[in-house]
Amino acid sequence: MTQIYLHDTLKQRKVPFEPINADNVRMYVCGPTVYDKAHLGNAKTPVVYDVLYRLLCHVYGKEHVTYVSNITDVDDKILNKHKETGKPIREITEQTYNWYIEDMAKLNVLAPNYRPRATEYIDDMIVLVEKLLENGHAYEADKQVLFDVDSMPAYGRLSGRSMKEMLAGARIEVADYKKNPADFILWKPSEADQPGWNSPWGYGRPGWHLECSAMSSKLLGNDFDIHGGGSDLIFPHHENELAQSCGAFPGTHFAHYWVHTGMLMINGVKMSKSLGNFYTVEEVLAKAPAEALRLLFLTTHYHQPFNFTFEGLQNAKAILDKFYNALLKNADVPTLEVAPSDKVVEALADDLNTPLALSYLHETVNNLNKAETAEERSALKSELLANAYLLGLLYNNPEAWFKGDDTADESAEIEALIQKRADAKKNKDWATADAIRNELKERGIVLEDSPTGTTWKKA
């Protein structure tokens, strides 16, 4: 069996991955808070863990992998959006959730086994708070329940920060009712017009950190294999998850491996609405196909900072043009069912080295373009598609890739012009044939003549 290596944030180094139970490899990844359209960061994280999920399924078998990625549908950001727009909270969360699912489908992100919503697990969150109170890790103050960080000597071990560093580096609410400024909310009161649930501490709602601990515990158990998310979640979110989960269930480790993606940058600067460099997935996909964005994400190692540029997006589109052109030229040879090549699997098993895996796809495409026999072409085409599947690439139809989102009427019009050009050439009316080619070229349509006819694609 292939040995997988992952960079573990807690151990601060790359380590061999050894699942708790190889018959049920379990992974939890923090999903979005559904209050607005998904931005680039919301897209990059699921793409990375989608590759890890595909790798785990390849190595251990799909039936032996359980992948959970949550939806946060109760949060102050959602309340703020409700106040800003006047829309009902349920309408905001449903609409935003559907947008997110559509974006993930375009990016070819496989659906996790479970996509729990926080509001479906409130009872489990209440039980978790009760356990923390019983175990002396929480206290009630000012109608709230807070986690007592001083009760957990190991607090800070995930982020590797001292208490002084943690307080300085995070926006932590300073309040008189807190024993320690770093103590965080487990349960807080809700106003009558806010989402809330009855609890032993009154009508209220859970703190954000509590939600993931309850959902992961319910669906994966108190000890599971991998916890993932963006590096911006290490502190305080994941630090707090780790503390409260171990506090509620003494003797457990919670997640055995912590895997985090690098920071997202836009033209070398951290993405921020205030800087005017904030992009939604929808805005980016208006400029290039979703697969180009997916490929661009994978050109940088997941653990490193990722720098998005529109030039990089166009370069990714050009690479896919090359790949799809090779497939289009070999549409006449059958695709065989083959396993991904060992070198691609080994590249991904080495802490998801997607840049190296992509280099092997380039190599295969070059060999496919040079192959002479039908047998060679068929074998290389099959290898290319099998390897691309592990990366979630080449999932589009090659012909449709080049023709884009044309309507049936537009396609019919182009085909009619191509036929008119063919008739002109047959009648040796070269002026008309050239005029049609030039007209189509101005519209961004490239014609490719061959002994079997003329095909077209968008430039």
Q: What is the pLDDT of residue 3?
A: 98
| Residue 108 sits in the same domain as residue 125 | yes
Q: What is the pLDDT of residue 458?
A: 74
**Cα distance between residue 257 and residue 308, in whole Å:** 28
Structural domain ending residue among the three candidates 231, 265, 299:
265
Contact 107, 293 (CB under 8 A): yes
| Residue 390 sits in the same domain as residue 366 | yes
Q: In the chain, pLDDT over 90 holds for what percent of residues?
A: 81
Structural domain ending residue among the three candidates 400, 424, 445:
400
Residue 408 has pLDDT above 60, yes or no: no
Structural domain ending residue among the three candidates 400, 431, 448:
400
Which pLDDT tens digit goes with each residue over 261-270?
Answer: 999 999 999 8
Q: Which phi and psi (to 5°) does residue 307 adopt?
A: -110, 110
| Residue 383 sits in the same domain as residue 435 | no
Domain-embedded: residue 155: yes
- The stretch 167-192 carries a mean pLDDT of 84
CA atoms within 13 A on the CB side of 213: 29
Q: What is the pLDDT of residue 175?
A: 80
| Residue 68 sits in the same domain as residue 173 | yes
Domain-embedded: residue 274: no
Provide the strand spans (E) within 9-86. Answer: 13-16, 25-29, 65-69
364 vs 169, more confident: 364
**Cα distance between residue 14 and residue 4, in whole Å:** 10
The set of residues, in sequence order, having a beta carbon less than 8 Å from that of 10 and lying 6+ positions away, is 157, 158, 257, 258
- The stretch 20-38 carries a mean pLDDT of 97
Would you place residue 406 in the very low, low, confident or very high pLDDT band (cuts 50, 70, 90)? low
Would you place residue 423 in the very low, low, confident or very high pLDDT band (cuts 50, 70, 90)? confident
Q: What is the pLDDT of residue 176?
A: 84
- The stretch 316-340 carries a mean pLDDT of 96
Domain-embedded: residue 71: yes
Q: What is the pLDDT of residue 270?
A: 87
155 vs 415, more confident: 155
Domain-embedded: residue 277: no
CA-based nearest residue to 353, from 366, 344, 341: 344
Q: What is the pLDDT of residue 276?
A: 82
Contact 43, 108 (CB under 8 A): no
CATH assignment of the domain containing 203: 3.40.50.620
Domain-embedded: residue 429: yes
Q: What is the pLDDT of residue 168?
A: 65
- The stretch 136-140 carries a mean pLDDT of 98
For the chain, give the mean pLDDT. 93
| Residue 294 sits in the same domain as residue 341 | yes
Q: What is the pLDDT of residue 92?
A: 96
Write 289-293 long-range contacts (CB < 8 A, 24+): 289/317, 289/320, 289/396, 289/401, 290/103, 290/106, 290/107, 290/108, 291/107, 291/108, 291/320, 291/393, 291/394, 291/395, 291/396, 292/316, 292/317, 292/320, 293/43, 293/107
Residue 422 has pLDDT above 60, yes or no: yes
Residue 450 has pLDDT above 90, yes or no: no
| Residue 107 sits in the same domain as residue 13 | yes
Domain-embedded: residue 270: no
Domain containing residue 321: 287-400
CATH assignment of the domain containing 322: 1.20.120.640
Q: What is the pLDDT of residue 361?
A: 98
Residue 439 has pLDDT above 70, yes or no: yes
195 vs 275, more confident: 195
Would you place residue 432 in the very low, low, confident or very high pLDDT band (cuts 50, 70, 90)? confident
Domain-embedded: residue 280: no
| Residue 163 sits in the same domain as residue 248 | yes
- The stretch 193-203 carries a mean pLDDT of 95
Would you place residue 170 in the very low, low, confident or very high pLDDT band (cuts 50, 70, 90)? low
Q: Hey, what amino acid is at 240?
A: N
**Cα distance between residue 122 and residue 184, in whole Å:** 18
CA-based nearest residue to 362, from 418, 301, 422, 318: 318
| Residue 291 sits in the same domain as residue 305 | yes
Among positive and negative, which fits the CA dihedral 354, 356, 360, 362? Answer: positive
The single-letter DSSP state of residue 280 is: B
CA atoms within 13 A on the CB side of 325: 15
| Residue 336 sits in the same domain as residue 416 | no
447 vs 241, more confident: 241
Its pTM stands at 0.89
- The stretch 374-391 carries a mean pLDDT of 98
CA-based nearest residue to 23, from 70, 72, 50, 62: 62
Count of domains in the chain? Answer: 3
| Residue 383 sits in the same domain as residue 441 | no
Would you place residue 167 in the very low, low, confident or very high pLDDT band (cuts 50, 70, 90)? low
User: Strand, helix or coil at 388?
Assistant: helix
Domain-embedded: residue 281: no
| Residue 259 sits in the same domain as residue 309 | no
Residue 128 has pLDDT above 90, yes or no: yes
- The stretch 73-86 carries a mean pLDDT of 93
| Residue 185 sits in the same domain as residue 304 | no
